[in-house]
Amino acid sequence: MANYLPEWTFKGRENRKIQFAILTSAAFRGGLEPDLLGEVVWWHTDDYWQYALLAAVALIRATADRKGVSVSEFAQQLARHRGINLSPHESPVPEELRSGTKPRPTDF
15-68, pLDDT tens digit by residue?
888 998 999 988 988 899 888 887 778 777 788 889 999 999 999 999 999 999
- Residue 22, classified by CB atoms within 10 Å of its CB into exposed (0-12), middle (13-18) or buried (19+), is buried
Which positions ≥6 away from 52 have C-beta within 8 Å? 21, 24
| Mean pLDDT on 2-23 | 89
* pLDDT tens by residue, 92-108: 566 666 655 555 555 44
DSSP 106: G
Which positions ≥6 away from 19 have C-beta within 8 Å? none
